[in-house]
Amino acid sequence: MKQVAIILSGCGVFDGAEIHESVLTMLHLERQGARYQCFAPDIEQHHVINHLTGEEQDEQRNVRVEAARIARGDVASLDTLDASAFDALILPGGFGVAKNLSDFAFKGAQSSILAAVKESCQAFNQLGKPIAYLCIAPALIGHIHPAGTLATIGNDEATAQAVEALGASHVNCGVADIVVDDTHKVISTPAYMLAGSISEASTGIEKAVQKLLEFA
């Protein structure tokens, strides 16, 4: 049975991991016969957003503690992720990727990435193990993989330009499709960058998971 690591960035689309994408990832992995383990960095969130009003809250939350809401408590510290113990890796989207795992939401083409995320992803890459990036997570590809690695965030021109400036080669992609870099075993899909419903997001995520497990 394939073992897949999932890196979460909190809980909630505006300040953490996108919940629908995270749960769909788990569902499709399980349906396709794989097991998974969730990981998250033990750090403070960039900020906390009230998801009802969209306003920033005057409080602090921990990324791993929040991710535990999605993982039903079973989320390990990212520092303990050992690429040799898994067959593949997947990163759901949500603004937490661009605010907590990196500062892409604020700095775009000048962004940097959390060292633990970069090291974990590169460890999988160096072992020839596949990685799937969902939604905004492909914005990290240029930070992690060799220049020219194929990536998609859908078709938003400004975001695609920032992805290219960071070194990835952006490919426009529909919500139901995936972009695959066969050389580097990197898969990406737009998910909620384009999806108007949970079923639309599910279609691309299912294909991404299927391809991930094929590579693995």
Locate 42 and state its tokens: 């033990």
CA geometry: angle at 104 spanning 102 and 143, to 5°? 65
Quick one: which of 85, 84, 68 has its CA closest to 76? 68
Integer Cα distance of 176 and 94 in angstroms: 18
The widest CA-to-CA distance across the chain, in whole angstroms, is 45
CA geometry: angle at 86 spanning 199 and 88, to 5°? 40
Residue 62 three-state SS: strand
121 is catalytic: no
Catalytic-role residue among 38, 121, 135, 173: 135
Query: Could you identify the residue written with the tokens 């060799």?
Result: 146
In the chain, where does DSSP find H-type helix?
Answer: 19-31, 63-70, 95-99, 104-107, 115-126, 141-144, 157-165, 198-215
- For the annotated catalytic residues, the residue numbers are 135
